[in-house]
Amino acid sequence: MFTESHQKIRAEHLGRDAFLYVRQSSLRQVFENTESSKRQYALRERAVVLGWPVERIHTIDSDLGISGAHAENRDGFQHLVSEVALGHAGIVLGLEVSRLARNNADWHRLLELAALTQTLILDEDGVYDPAHFNDRLLLGLKGTMSEAELHVLKARLLGGQRNKARRGELEMALPIGLVYDAAGAVTLDPDLHIQQAVRMVFDTFREVRSATAVLRRFVRERLRFPRRIRRGIGKGDVLWGMFDNSRVTQILHNPRYAGAYVYGRTRSVPSVDLKSTTQRKVARQDWPVLIKDAHPGYITWDEYERNQVTLRENTCAFSAGARGTVPREGPALLQGRVLCGRCGARMRVRYQKMRRSLAPYYICQEEVVRRAGTTCQSIRGIDVDEAISQLLLKTVAPATLEVALAVQDEIAGRIEQADQLRRSQLERARYDAELARRRYLKVDPDNRLVAGTLEADWNERLRNLDALEQEHERQRKADEGLLNDEARAKIRSLAADFPRVWADPRTASSERKRMLALLIEDITLLKAEHVAIHVRFRGGQTTTLTTDRPKPMALIRKTKPEVIQALDVLLDTCTDTEAARQLNIAGHRTWQRRPFTNKTVGFVRRTYGLTSCRDRLLAKGYRCGADIAKELGVSQTFIHELGRDGLLRRRRYGGAVGCLYEPINGITIIPGVGGKRARRPQVINVRASTRETV
């Protein structure tokens, strides 16, 4: 065999370099399986025996501790392939095929390049020339066996792991709040502070039904949450820090807190570039192992199921049949709970700016989004929300007293829970400060470097303790204000005047929606001649309401016929100002529910073509002062004086000076006669058969 191997080595091979590739799959093997490394490095002596000088034998060992399943991230193997492709390698040395590659794609690529560049391959069994069919066939079989060996090893390990998981005995990393005891059983963390923090998450979610609201409470009350270091320096230690939304959702979605043993919630899938793997969630029906009530938990399995339904409904989903029901700030009372009566899809909410407020509209856009069609139906939400509000008030009224008492008990429980958690933080801070003090007292006083560091650590912990005590005292005083007699009286008063509280503008829209969600499952709207409102309560009871269709804005702004008729009558004898006053006295209002003014009366008069008071007087024969003065040959001032003195009858048609005079039939003016004022004319009223001198 050795003679045949030597015959394969030619001068052209010896004229190029030899490359020794050394690899082990993990760092643990590197440190523990040292004999394998020695065997691989010993191949250098084999290359020397075959005729390569020591200085031309290159060792590539940069891939120690890296798996050979793929060529990615193996810089040493890629360097070896490039040297072979460039024709710099005369022979490639490896203890066995599995050291070079455990993937047929990588292995056969190396064989292809070696055959093209006339490069030999050496393992513990002999020397092979990939350019020869028999050698290449043998190397291919070895590569296939190497890949199959990796598959068998992996299947054997995973099989044992899964078999142990089916019995619930496979130990996996536990979430914060759960630990393994001395016997290997899962139990609650003995640290009561950690237990209180975890329980507060579930208790708060049970009340507010929103993960973001849970986070807001922790941030508002400046509460910290623990996390455990999983790897590296300080592995197993617990750190306390600020909460975030991802941690809240992880805790609420984790079935271990419900006492269930779960295996296979995620699986590893290769990334797009095949250089790494990512964890992808597995649907619950595809979990390989699910053992309920396997160990103590913080909630029951039924509550865990309800939490998953709530979290799924709270998501802002746009798929068919999905909805987002987390209460938001908008005024739309039925947000997330409206179904289209025509197509059955969820109706979305849109808002229109209406001067100082937002008007909600419930719109079905399923055809628009899915099929580029038209809007199914759009319904203004003000009237619908008002009808549902009245229905809700009738439904809630019999149970308002129990609700008020439950609210009071809930507030007291939440305050006590938060206070207990803050006391645990204070107790931990005092322990840390005392521990830092004992460390400082035990240090050698002459060792100032260590003593200074310990003293600074002690001072820092004392400052943290003082800040926590001040914050605890401030929060305690604030909580006392929520539980005093005045606050209790206000809570009890809710039962006596619930409608006023419901309509109070200080009541947040999200709170109204949250109360509505406790009673109503969904609402179906159908717009025809009237708007039909089909309400389905939680529990299956249904009822139907009907409201008028919202009128177009043109009709809403249109003045009522009775107002126009009354105004037409008033304009016979009244000016615009007088007509506005008479309309207000009669109880009429504009379309905006505002009193009439002379401007609004004038606008309505011009819009509906009503003749003004002046035009009506002119039609009856009334004339202006200028025309009468011209006819009588006197000044306008004199005519106005006659009107003020009552000698000429006049009618006002607007303002303080606008007036018209009755016809002057039967009136004669004799100039030059006038008593004390000789030049003032004399007025003779023939119609009254009297003589009046002015």
DSSP three-state, residue 267: strand
Cα angle 532, 533, 537 (rounded to 5 degrees) comes to: 150
Question: Looking at the DSSP assignment, which residues form a beta bridge with residue 121?
Answer: 92, 128
How many Å apart are CA 680 and CA 637, to the nearest integer? 13
**Residue 673 CA: distances (Å) to CA of 60, 247, 642, 678, 693:** 140, 108, 16, 5, 8
Query: 338: how many CB neighbours lie within 10 A of its CB?
Result: 26
Tokens (6 digits) for 509: 């829209």
For residue 428, which of 392, 465, 467, 399 has the smallest C-alpha distance?
Answer: 465
Query: 48: how many CB neighbours lie within 10 A of its CB?
Result: 13
The backbone torsions φ and ψ at residue 650, rounded to the nearest 5 degrees and listed phi first, read -135, 160
How many Å apart are CA 562 and CA 93, to the nearest integer? 107
Q: Which of 25, 37, 146, 210 is catalytic?
A: 25
Q: Which residue has the tokens 């580029």?
A: 372
Cα angle 269, 314, 532 (rounded to 5 degrees) comes to: 130
Q: Which residue has the tokens 């979290």?
A: 311
DSSP three-state, residue 549: coil
Asked if 105 contacts 60 with a C-beta cutoff of 8 angstroms, the reply is no
How many Å apart are CA 439 and CA 105, to the nearest integer? 60
Asked if 519 contacts 395 with a C-beta cutoff of 8 angstroms, the reply is yes
**Which uninterrupted H or E stretch holds 127?**
strand 126-128
Asked if 408 contacts 493 with a C-beta cutoff of 8 angstroms, the reply is no
Tokens (6 digits) for 59: 């060792």
How many Å apart are CA 404 and CA 410, to the nearest integer? 10
Task: Classify strands 682-685 and 277-281 as parallel, antiparallel or unpaired.
Answer: unpaired
CA quadruple 198, 201, 206, 210: dihedral, nearest 10: -150
**Which uninterrupted H or E stretch holds 353?**
strand 348-354
Tokens (6 digits) for 311: 């979290």
Task: Classify strands 530-537 and 542-548 as parallel, antiparallel or unpaired.
Answer: antiparallel
357 catalytically annotated: no
Asked if 101 contacts 68 with a C-beta cutoff of 8 angstroms, the reply is yes
The backbone torsions φ and ψ at residue 189, rounded to the nearest 5 degrees and listed phi first, read -60, 130
448 conformational bin, left if phi > 0, alpha if psi -120 to 50, beta if neither: alpha
**Could you please report the per-residue DSSP string of 614-656?**
HHHHHHTT-B-HHHHHHHHTS-HHHHHHHHHHTSS-EEEEETT
**Which uninterrupted H or E stretch holds 159?**
helix 133-166
**Residue 265 CA: distances (Å) to CA of 254, 262, 281, 311:** 10, 7, 6, 18
Q: Which residue has the tokens 């019995």?
A: 167
How many Å apart are CA 211 and CA 251, to the nearest integer? 10
For residue 453, which of 434, 430, 478, 436 has the smallest C-alpha distance?
Answer: 436
Tokens (6 digits) for 619: 């039609």
The backbone torsions φ and ψ at residue 596, rounded to the nearest 5 degrees and listed phi first, read -75, 145
Query: 675: how many CB neighbours lie within 10 A of its CB?
Result: 9
Catalytic sites, residue numbers: 25
